[in-house]
Amino acid sequence: MSETTATSKELLARPVLKSAISKAARRLMPMLVILYIVSFLDRTNVGFAEAALGADKGVSAGAFALGAGIFFIGYAIFEIPSNLLLKKVGAKIWLARIAITWGIVSACFAFVQGETSFVILRFLLGVTEAGLFPGVIMYLAEWFPNKVRVQMFAIFYLAQPFSQMIGNPLSGWLINIGDQVPGLRGWQVMFFVEGLLAVLAGIAAFFFLINGPEKAKFLSKDEKYALKEVMALEDTVKDEHGPRGILAAMRNGRVWYFTIIYFCLQIAVYGVTFFLPQQVSSLTGQKVGLAVGLLIAVPWFFGIFSCYFIGKAANTVAKRRTFGTILFISTGLCIFGSAWAGTNHQPVLGMIFITLAVCSFLAVGPVVWAYPTAFLAGSAAAAGIGLINSLGNLGGFVAPILRTAVNEATQSPTGSMGVYALGVLPFVAAAMMFATKRFKNKADDLLD
């Protein structure tokens, strides 16, 4: 056992450090979860408006797919600059700014007039939201040691199921209520109200977030020292054995390796999420609205448990590799299963497969992010994490276009062929995750 490893284990075992981590989690995680809940809601609520936008504003299926995906182009272009600015001005100001500006853009969807304005607003939504997710990942990597980091990522990821559990019924309810308002359509009310929620969340973030342990008044002097000491030890190892600086991070092979893995994951996530309201509607024969919104909440409810408990259990390199490989395989198989159930008119089986797919891809996300945050620090972390998230999220651009293109090419009456196409990529990610056993990372000594 090396001296560095022994020192790390001694630090992690200290009660004062455990107290600091516990206090930091209680103070920071609720606000970060709220931000991501609203973020995920505002980028996916467009699925509830698909049919209405076509009927009311003439937005075709092709234009809808382009608009759903082009969000990620703006997101990708401004992701790294946003992350670097966050590093410079601090999370307190920058995350608040992100939420307020994307909330304003999201509310403007209530005034869409046709295909052009719809696509432009989707692009602007990506531009304004760029940097939120990788910024939080980097922020958590500065606050929490590697041993507990996947657990914190998993808590942050709980925003996705909570967003869908709360957001889908909320979106359906707002559409139903909005349809009763003279001169307005339900989808307009949905976009405006949910955009306003992001603005309010951004204002709250400014008051709740802290720009580092040294500025945390809720920690005692000893707790601050203990947390800064263990984080400094990890950063030293990263600096010695990982890429240094922005350009080095962007050229690093491991950064690009995890970019591909994350791209495959996002293909699965958004391929399912964007079309989930219509898929459940087709499976059950019910119109998109409150009833469908409640049904969609079921997979995300079970996803809460898989995300949290796997995140808590994945506290060694071997466990992270095993969980990651199995969960990617499960994601692909369950996406295939949901397509088969739709083709064969099996709504119960369809919902089961969708639920298992959601549980799998939710739980694997935090595991994936544990790897790059274990060897990236400083400006390299800002650039590397931004690159992985920005290019990986292009899977969200590719997914709806790929699904629509495959369905049109195969003339699939149920749309199942497009779903099958999306289910292939998680198997690629599973093979790559398993192959990480060949990676050698000095930071792993601190973990295991």
Q: What is the pTM of this model?
A: 0.78
The DSSP output letter for 445 is H
Q: How far is CA 157 from the centre of its chain?
A: 7
pLDDT band of residue 6 (cuts 50, 70, 90) is very low
Cα separation values, 264 from 165, 317, 422, Å: 24, 21, 9
Helical spans, DSSP H, in 45-90: 50-57, 61-89
d(CA 112, CA 286): 26
What pLDDT, on the 0 to 100 scale, is given for residue 407?
78
Quote the tokens at residue 425. 């990529």
Residue 416 has pLDDT above 80, yes or no: no
What pLDDT, on the 0 to 100 scale, is given for residue 280?
73
Quote the tokens at residue 294. 């409640």
What pLDDT, on the 0 to 100 scale, is given for residue 5?
47
Kindly report the length of the chain.
448
pLDDT band of residue 354 (cuts 50, 70, 90) is confident
pLDDT band of residue 277 (cuts 50, 70, 90) is low
> Three-state SS for 47?
helix
Rounded to the nearest 10°, the torsion over CA 29, 123, 358, 131 is -30
Neighbours of 409 (CB within 10 A): 11
* 387-209-365 Cα angle (round to 5): 40
Which range is least confidently modeled, 101-110, 355-364, 391-400? 391-400
Average pLDDT value for residue range 328-347: 85
The DSSP annotation for 303-328 comes to HHHHHHHHHHH--SHHHHHHHHHHHH
Average pLDDT value for residue range 45-51: 75
* 311-314-318 Cα angle (round to 5): 155
What pLDDT, on the 0 to 100 scale, is given for residue 63?
83
Mean pLDDT of the chain: 84
Q: List all residues 6 or more positions away from 35 whose beta carbon is below 8 Å from its beta carbon.
A: 95, 99, 132, 136, 159, 201, 202, 205
Average pLDDT value for residue range 52-63: 78
Q: Which segment, 104-108, 240-244, 394-398, is predicted with the most confidence on average? A: 104-108
CB 401 within 8 A of CB 67: no
d(CA 293, CA 133): 25
Residue 142 has pLDDT above 80, yes or no: yes
What H or E segment, with its residue span, contains residue 179?
none
Nearest by Cα to 263 from 394, 358, 101: 394
Residue 248 has pLDDT above 70, yes or no: yes
Nearest by Cα to 195 from 102, 277, 273: 102
Quote the tokens at residue 100. 């307020």
